[in-house]
Structure 1
Amino acid sequence: MAVQFTRIDLTAYPVDEGRRGQLHQGFCQSGPLDPYAFMLANALCGQQSGTAIEFIGALECEFQHPALISITGAAAEITLDGQLQLPWQSLRVERGQRLVVQPARLGSKHYLAIAGGFDFPTATGSACLVRREKQGGLHGDGTPLQVGDIIRSLPPGNGAIPGELPVWLMPDYQEAVNIGLVHGYQHQWLSSLQWQRLYSSEYTLTPQVDRMGYRLTGTAISLPEQALYSEAIALGAMQIPPDGQPIVMMADRQTLGGYPKAGTVARCDLNHFAQCIPGDKITFYQLDADEARARWLLKLSAIKRWLSH
């Protein structure tokens, strides 16, 4: 089975669950920006994991063989041969049919999955594309997908096809979000006044966003001038650089960093944060690590219950 891309407005990357056990070698973890949408895209194709296409901007492709696919992510107009389709569902396509996905907001992230997964070469244990490392992609050199590329898929498995995602599992992506923050490595560097400023202020996502990190602008956070050795950076870590404007590190973040880290975006809220685009308003609230973990496990449990019915 194969898919040919006939339109890519901005970017289209192959992603899987990311690399494991490679940070000490200097390779970033990578993986999907919105892990929740990625996970459900694969679930709707009857598989626990697989390689999907993460894209920003409009995408158009033609199927050269019958297939089962799904499209997840923020709001978008989806058509198959001009006929409107719903997101967050299993969708059967025939040979020669043309799929068009037009996002409602430029900059939002979407996922195209196919039963069996797309067949991309792997590097350091992952099919993820990382441009600065020049790894991944159709040619294994970190080049994003291009118009005219033909992507083959692997044979589908025997997993049950759930059909359509129930409403209670669909994320409600908003232009203004309140994000849980788990206190980080240097949380004690922030005085009570600085924490009050952080949690009572509204931040705006700047145009300086990519798969490596999201820069925010708003009330500056002042920290004492202290020397800090570079150390490992977790997914969602909020760094505070000298100008006091937070930077949240995302999937393609570097492995080490020397800025103080106030906290980490909770995994249960990461998908909502990842779907923000420049100009969106963001506030933060304190979330205990155990509570953050419990909320994420509840999300996973809800998906498991749905799939078992």
Structure 2
Amino acid sequence: MAGIVTQLQQVAVAVATGHLDAATRGPLRFRAVGSSDLSVFPLALSGNVFGWTADDAETNSILDAYAEQGGNFVDTADSYAGGRSETMIGNWMRKRRNRSSMVVATKVGKSADHPGLRARVLTRAVHASLNRLGTDRIDLLYLHIDDVNVEFEETLLAVDELIRAGKVRYFGCSDHTGNRLIEARVASAQLGVAPMVALQNRYNLLQRSEYEGDLAHVAAQQGLGVMPRFALASGFLTGKYRQRSDVALNQRRGEVAKLMTRRGMRILTALDRVAREQSTTVASVALAWLLAKPGVVAPVASVTSAEQLADLSDAVTLQLTRHQMADLDRASQ
């Protein structure tokens, strides 16, 4: 752990003093989330493993290493480990007394206790999340599902009430189509309530079609901050899965195995090539590719140990060349 912290501190000093290679590294800049006043580290730390594959000690170690790196953007959900993820993040913030320096994003709609997005259910879910997080406000609330059984007006009015009460600062959506984003924006304008400022959808080098196209166009039109989730495709884009035997111990081995196609291997080959040119890791290149895409604010990535953060830390200052971006674009078509 000490070695990782030292490495991250050295990176931070190098960035601050301008001693990183100017051809491939840029200054570390926090990014605004859409039209909000939230300013976030360009890599969001997912809490989806907290309380699942990471226990309390490992979770604290991961969060400590992320904060040492300068990270301030933690992403979780009320359905992660049955709410345990929120509790562990809340305990860590209380022990470190750093709530004011963190931007906390959570999602509601999928938990077993509060499923769906009806007004009363959503309100209860947010109150439960606030209790688990040990805080008086959620900085960024995501609608974790597109609940087509509930009129947008009902959900939007409930969220607006929470915003007016100071319990939620801003909100966004997850798993919504471009058409549904348009419906939500129209409904928000008609009701005179707060509009969405963020979008979280599956987006990475292997899985581009869900986001690129209509959804990306609408997100740009509405000025939404985009936070790609599954940014490393369940670990496949770290480069550690090269053959079937490598997948055996992965918790999402079924999903990862499906990615081991000719196209998947072609993408890894391109990532290997760029990583060598940039003297960095495959994972950092995959994240840097996302960060170079229009509208992307902060990819959401998870790690199972503090040591793995070192493999991702380069992405936030890594600047890919036009040729490298084009190479990765072609390989992932």
Q: What TM-score, normalized by structure 1, do the two folds share?
A: 0.25
Of Structure 1 and Structure 2, the greater strand share is in: 1
Q: TM-score, normalised by structure 2?
A: 0.24
Q: Structure 1 or 2: larger helix share?
A: 2
